[in-house]
C-alpha cells in the first residue's frame, strides 16, 4: 500500500465524525450567516425594503438561534445528536423555502428570522463543538482545529457562490438552490453520527437528580459574567461586520463581484489560523489568544474605516481573514475547558443564548447607522469601540 494512502486512511478512520460535522457546518453557516451579506443588497434593490429592516430579519435569526441553543443543547445531552440536527434541518429548510417567495417585509423577516434561527440553534458550533468535545476527549484541540478548519470553508465558498447565483438567478431562486444544498450537505452527518448524548458517552456519571437549575448556577460567578460580556460584545461586532462588510466594500467603489470575491478570499485566509489553533493556544494560552484576535478585529475595522483606496480594503480583507475565524473556536475551546464534557451541550447552549441575545442587536443597530448617515463610517467606528470594551472585560478575568 502507498504510504500516503495508508496515512490518509488512518487519519480518516479516526477523524471522520468531526470531518462530517465540519462539512455540515459549511452548509449551515454558509447559508444562514454568510449568504445573507450577499442577499441584502439585491433584496433592497428589488423590494425597496430598508437596510435596517432587512438587518432585523438577520438579527431575529440570531436571537432565535441563541435562545434555541439552550434547548437544543439540553436535548443533545438527553437524546443525542440525530433528533436535534434532523429536526432543525427539516423545519428550518421549509421556512427558508417559504422565505424565498415572500412578497411582504413582515413575511420575509419572520421566515428568515425563524427559519435561520432554527438552523442556527440545531446546526451551528454550539452543537457540533459539543459533540466534538465528547467524541475527542484526548485530542480536543486538534479536533476543534479540524472542525473549524473545515467549517471555515463556509465563508470562501458561500460568499462568491451566493454572489454568482444571485447575479445569474436572482435572490429568490438563489435562496432555494442554497437551501437545497444545505439539506444535501447536512444529511450525511445526521445519518452516520447517531447518539452522542451525555448518558452514553460520559465516563463519569453524575447523579440523575442534578437539575437544570443547578447547572445554571455555574453562571453566577463574577469571572464568568466578565467572560460573557467579552464574548457578547465581540460577537456583536463580528456578526455585524459579517453582515455588512460586502456592502461596506461596495461603498468604497468596488463592484458586487469584486466585493464578494474579496469576501471569499477573506474566508480562505481564516484557514491557516485555524490550522494552527493548537500551537497558538499552547503559545499564548486561550485567553491570550482571544485578546490578540480582538485586537486584530479592531485593526481590521480601522483599515476599512480608512479605506480610500483598494489597498485599505485589502488590508481589511487580510487582517480580518487571518484572525476573525479563530474567535468562535477559541470561545468554544474555552467553554470546553471550563465545563468539561458531562453537560457541555447544556452549558454551551446557555452560553450561546446569552451571547446571541446581545450579538443579535449588532446587525440591526449598526445597520441603522448606515440608513441614518448614508455611509459605513459610524458602523466601523462603533465597532472599534465595542471591541475595545470586549478586550477590557476579558482582561478582568483571571
Q: Please choose, from the candidates 120, 123, 121, 100, the residue with its C-alpha nearest in 3D space to the C-alpha of residue 39.
A: 100
Q: What is the dihedral of CA 238, 240, 246, 250, to 10 degrees?
A: -120
The pLDDT, as a whole number, for residue 204 is 45
Give the span between the Cα atoms of 221 and 143, in whole angstroms. 29
Q: Which residues have C-beta within 8 Å of that of residue 156, sequence separation ≥ 6?
A: 264, 265, 266, 267, 268, 271
Q: What are phi and psi of 306, to 5 degrees?
A: -85, 0
Q: Which residues have C-beta within 8 Å of that of residue 270, sequence separation ≥ 6?
A: 152, 155, 321, 322, 323, 324, 325, 326
Task: Give the SS3 label for residue 306.
Answer: coil
Q: Please choose, from the candidates 339, 383, 392, 389, the residue with its C-alpha nearest in 3D space to the C-alpha of residue 362.
A: 383
- Grid cell, residue 222, equals 463574577
Q: Digits of tens for pLDDT over the chain (398 positions)?
A: 555 554 556 666 778 888 999 999 999 999 998 898 889 889 988 998 887 788 889 888 988 987 888 888 888 878 888 899 999 999 999 999 999 999 999 999 999 999 999 999 999 888 888 888 888 877 777 888 888 888 878 877 888 899 899 989 999 999 999 999 999 999 999 888 865 555 444 444 444 445 455 556 666 667 778 878 888 899 888 888 877 888 888 888 787 778 878 887 887 787 777 777 778 888 888 888 899 999 988 988 888 888 766 778 888 888 888 888 788 788 877 776 766 666 666 667 777 777 877 777 777 777 778 777 777 888 888 889 999 999 999 888 76
What's the DSSP call for residue 217?
Answer: G
- Would you say the pTM of this structure is higher than 0.95? no
Total H helices, total E strands in the chain: 18, 0
Give the span between the Cα atoms of 133 and 340, in whole angstroms. 8
Amino acid at each position: 500500500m502507498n504510504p500516503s494512502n495508508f496515512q490518509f486512511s488512518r487519519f480518516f478512520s479516526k477523524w471522520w465524525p468531526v470531518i462530517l460535522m465540519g462539512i455540515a457546518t459549511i452548509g449551515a453557516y454558509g447559508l444562514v450567516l454568510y449568504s445573507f451579506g450577499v442577499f441584502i443588497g439585491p433584496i433592497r434593490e428589488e423590494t425597496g425594503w430598508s437596510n435596517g429592516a432587512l438587518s432585523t430579519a438577520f438579527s431575529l435569526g440570531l436571537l432565535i438561534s441563541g435562545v434555541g441553543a439552550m434547548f437544543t443543547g439540553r436535548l443533545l445531552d438527553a437524546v443525542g445528536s440525530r433528533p436535534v440536527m434532523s429536526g432543525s434541518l427539516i423545519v428550518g429548510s421549509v421556512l427558508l423555502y417559504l422565505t424565498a417567495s415572500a412578497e411582504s417585509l413582515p413575511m420575509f423577516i419572520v421566515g428568515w428570522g425563524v427559519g435561520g434561527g432554527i438552523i442556527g440553534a440545531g446546526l451551528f458550533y454550539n452543537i457540533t463543538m459539543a459533540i466534538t468535545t465528547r467524541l475527542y476527549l484526548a485530542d480536543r484541540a486538534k479536533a476543534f482545529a479540524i472542525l473549524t478548519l473545515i467549517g471555515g470553508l463556509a465563508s470562501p465558498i458561500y460568499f462568491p457562490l451566493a454572489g454568482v447565483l444571485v447575479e445569474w438567478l436572482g435572490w429568490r431562486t438563489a435562496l432555494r438552490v442554497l437551501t437545497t444544498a444545505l439539506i444535501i450537505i447536512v444529511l450525511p452527518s445526521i445519518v452516520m453520527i447517531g447518539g452522542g448524548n451525555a448518558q452514553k458517552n460520559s465516563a463519569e456519571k453524575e447523579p440523575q437528580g442534578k437539575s437544570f437549575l443547578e447547572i445554571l448556577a455555574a453562571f453566577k460567578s463574577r469571572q464568568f459574567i466578565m467572560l460573557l460580556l467579552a464574548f457578547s460584545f465581540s460577537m456583536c461586532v463580528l456578526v455585524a461586520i459579517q453582515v455588512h462588510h460586502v456592502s461596506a466594500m461596495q461603498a468604497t467603489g468596488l463592484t458586487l463581484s469584486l466585493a464578494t470575491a474579496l469576501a471569499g478570499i477573506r474566508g480562505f485566509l481564516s484557514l491557516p489560523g485555524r490550522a494552527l489553533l493548537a500551537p497558538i493556544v499552547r503559545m499564548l494560552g486561550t485567553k491570550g489568544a482571544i485578546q490578540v484576535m480582538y485586537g486584530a478585529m479592531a485593526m481590521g475595522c480601522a483599515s476599512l474605516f480608512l479605506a480610500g483606496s483598494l489597498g485599505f480594503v485589502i488590508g481589511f480583507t487580510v487582517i480580518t481573514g487571518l484572525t476573525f475565524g479563530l474567535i468562535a473556536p477559541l470561545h468554544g475551546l474555552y467553554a470546553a475547558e471550563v465545563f468539561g464534557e458531562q453537560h457541555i451541550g447544556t452549558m454551551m447552549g446557555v452560553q450561546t443564548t446569552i451571547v446571541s441575545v446581545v450579538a443579535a442587536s449588532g446587525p440591526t443597530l449598526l445597520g441603522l447607522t448606515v440608513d441614518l448617515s448614508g455611509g459605513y463610517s459610524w458602523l466601523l467606528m462603533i465597532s472599534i469601540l465595542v471591541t475595545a470594551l470586549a478586550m477590557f472585560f476579558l482582561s478582568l478575568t483571571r
